[in-house]
Chains A and B, each alone.
Chain A
Amino acid sequence: MPIATTELKAKIIESLNLQDVTPELIQDDAPLFGAGLGLDSIDALELVVMLEKHFGIVIKDIEEGRPAFKSVRTLADFIDARRSH
């Protein structure tokens, strides 16, 4: 079953301690890094931890995760693709 983006947004908010941000405020296709939420390379590393903790997906090189971290949508697709292996 594909992951619901709302569930994923909640996980992102929790793992990054995004205070004052609710899942509704994050658009599926909006960039996660840079301007939008103000995330940076340390947050990417927290997302790596979150992916392993909740989805059992291990990323050993941050370059591997970079395309997946573009938006909530790309991240959801990445999780689905990895889990269907």
Chain B
Amino acid sequence: MADRSPVITGLGVISALGSGIDDIWSAMVAGQSGLKPLTLFQSTRYGQIPVGEITHDLAELGAPLHGSRSDKLAWLAARDAIRSANLDTRSAADRTGVLLGSSVGGTHDTERFLTTLIKHGKVLARPTRFHECSAPVDLVAESFGLFGPSFAISTACSSGAIAIATAAELIQSGQADVMLAGGADSLSHTTWAGFHSLLLVDMQGGCKPFDAARGGMSFGEGAAVLIIEAEEHARKRGATILARLTGWGASCDAHHVTAPHPEGAGALAAMQGALRRAQLAPTHIGYVNAHGTGTRDNDVAEAKALKSLFGANVPPFSSTKRFFGHTLAASGAIEAVVCIEALRRQQLPANPGFSEIDPAIGLSPLTKMRSEELTHVMSNSFGFGGNNAALIFSTADTVPQTRPTPSNHTSVTGLGIIAPEKHSVSERAIQPPLPPDSIKVRACAPFDAATLTPNQRRRLSRITQMAILAARRSHAADPSKRLAVAVGTGFGCLDEGAIFIENLITKDEAEPMPTRFPGSVHNAPAGQVAIDLGARGLNSAPTMGEISFESALWQAINQIAIGEADEALAGGVDELNKYALSIGKRWGFWNEQTIPGEAAVVANLSGASANKPSLARVTAVRLGRYRRPFDAKREADWIAAAVDLSKVNVMVSGAKGWSELDAPYNAVVEELSRHTGRALTHQTYKQDCGEFYSASAIGFSVAVELARQQQCSVLLYTLSLRGGKALCCIEP
């Protein structure tokens, strides 16, 4: 398997400290900081304190005119990464995917829409077109003509690192040869007010990671993209290998939504996981780029984890957050670039802002940049929901360790579903500040929350409660099992986010909402499911429009396949929300056929050793992007390459939702029927559950049921309006 080892052949980065790694490194050598007074928006309550804001005109740098601020940052980093890798994207197009972390997405632009609406009563919805955290991935994939597996990861501040780890897994599993992987997040008033509401921000605007007098984080924005390739692919095209990605580990504290585990247990597990994968001992690590946000609790917990892992020999470490500000979903990717460059230059970056050791930490980070022989370095990233990731990069001349061949037998051993009743349609009144309206919806019936704990009932939003209940229905808790969780969502916790931003704009930063802010992130459902079930494996919240569920399914199954989990939950959740309803109607999305819906579906997946009654087996999951104009023959070939069509009797599709996709779906059924010489049955599900991004999770449950009843293989095939596609084969 050595030839499928992930190697880094290119990188692109844009940040407040500079664009491009050479500029950034010079600034780091000179000890400069990217932090300067905030100008992107006005903050009456907290003031224009220093942040890592990119003040260049993004269009002048070459960014596309359309798209959110995050989209543009992602595009610039992707362009530079492709250039630096000397990658001919056309020749590798079908085997090249895009995996980016994003937690802000288009929020900065959505705020403009909401401000105009709330303050002036005008509906100018255009800026919300790029609201989704998946928009940067769509833009990059479409703009550079990439058709491999692509989705976004939205696990708050660990997003960038989880995206890089997942990209490596896609390459190792043979799903792609090349991945553009990283993260992008712009500044936004929402995240600004949110972190302030949690009292996590250094009000002097100069974060001091690990220092005794540290007062919190400083904000930043930016993007970084790595070109990760299978080694055989890089060698064949004669690419320069900058470094290897030899280890990665992910874990969940399953402890608290915002507070890290006090002993850093999850952070330790992620670092141990990365070492295990790289087959390295702690003594091999020559440098650690710490998460080091400069908040009181993070730095203490991280230091404890470092001491648990390395004992008395903690390697030189530093947090580079004061250079860039905390760039949230981009931070793991930007710091990965810093680590790769540290290996290339054999230099360890300093930890600006540190001057005095904190007795509660008992460790001193690097105060000055220094030269040292380096072979293996580690980068830590932690996020809300106790979401932890660690990456290990090694010099190009190291020999990567092989891993046992993964198993690929995965059974569906439970399904939990909260969905609208079949054929139920109700009218939903649209509330202010939107103009009054009434829209037909397929809504879930009120569910019984009595089994939830008092804290879950009073604090969690409806979508997160739905996810917890669906997860419980799917899963018989067994503490001896290592459990991973991936809950896909298209729009995330829209209601919670909307209430937070409405309050922010209406009250001009007064009366902040510290409970709602962490409840509004895309990984709130996945994180709360983990807390509820004690799931300490990978915790992911992939998002990619209509293939959000399949993205989660791939991640969940792969955790079992590579031996990182005994069982895994794959979910899809989305909720009806007045803004999505009202703007969707304005844009002509909703009609007699296309009725908005919602659901929470969680599938419990088990490996071969689980010894549990199986509902069905999942024998293939593939992700990618289709070409325009849509080519049904090409799609049928893609499906035939992954699935034994001779056993497939039924195709379950997302037709009868967006009417534009009906013709493509029908054409693929026809093409597959021609291919097999038998008429395939075309089963749809959106007529029952309505249209929403993670609706294919309902399709999955339909496919499992059909495979059981008819004792045949069932193909689940899903297209997204923005170019994504997914297939899943389910067998009895």
Chain A interface residues (CB < 8 Å from chain B): 16-20, 38, 40-43, 45-46, 48-49, 52-53, 59-62
Contacts and interface: CB of A to CB of B under 8 A. Distances in A.
A17 B459 CA distance: 8
Contact of A49 (B197, B259, B457): B197
5 contacts: A18-B458, A19-B458, A41-B256, A43-B515, A49-B197
Contacts of A46: 514-515
A40 B366 CA distance: 34
B457 to A, nearest CB: 6
A45 B458 contact: no
B515 A19 contact: no
A42 B514 contact: yes
Interface string B510-531: 1111110010000000000000
A8 B459 CA distance: 20
Contact of B259 (A16, A41, A59): A41
A43 B256 CA distance: 12
A38 B457 CA distance: 13
A60 B215 CA distance: 11
Contacts of B197: 45, 49
Contacts of B458: 16-19
A5 to B, nearest CB: 22
Contacts of A41: 256, 258-259
B61 interface: no
A18 B544 CA distance: 36
A18 B459 CA distance: 9
Given A53-B511, A61-B199, A40 B259 contact: yes
B479 interface: no
Contacts of B513: 49
A49 B199 contact: no
Interface string B452-474: 00110111000000000000000
A60 B203 contact: yes
A25 to B, nearest CB: 12
A41 B298 CA distance: 14
A45 B454 contact: no
Interface string B183-216: 0000000000000011100010000000000010
Interface of B: 197-199, 203, 215, 256-259, 454-455, 457-459, 510-515, 518
Nearest to A63: B296
Contacts of B257: 42
A72 to B, nearest CB: 18
Contacts of B511: 49, 52-53
Given A17-B459, A40-B256, A42-B518, A49 B203 contact: no
A41 B275 CA distance: 32
The 3 closest A-B pairs by CB, nearest first: A45-B514, A17-B458, A62-B199
A52 B512 CA distance: 10
Given A41-B256, A42-B518, A49 B454 contact: no
Contact of A38 (B258, B259, B455): B455
Contacts of B518: 42
Contacts of A43: 515
Nearest to A18: B458
A34 B198 CA distance: 19
Contacts of B510: 53
Contacts of B215: 61
Nearest to A48: B199
Contacts of A61: 199, 215
A19 B199 contact: no
Contacts of B457: 19
Contacts of A20: 454
Contacts of B515: 42-43, 45-46
Contacts of B512: 49
A50 to B, nearest CB: 9
Given A19-B458, A38-B454, 18 more contacts: A18-B458, A19-B454, A40-B259, A41-B258, A41-B259, A45-B197, A45-B198, A45-B199, A45-B515, A46-B514, A46-B515, A48-B199, A48-B514, A49-B197, A49-B512, A53-B510, A60-B199, A61-B215
Contacts of A53: 510-511
Contact of B459 (A42, A59, A60, A62): A42
A60 B510 CA distance: 14
A76 B199 CA distance: 22
A12 to B, nearest CB: 12
A40 B199 CA distance: 15
Nearest to B457: A19
B125 to A, nearest CB: 31
B507 to A, nearest CB: 10
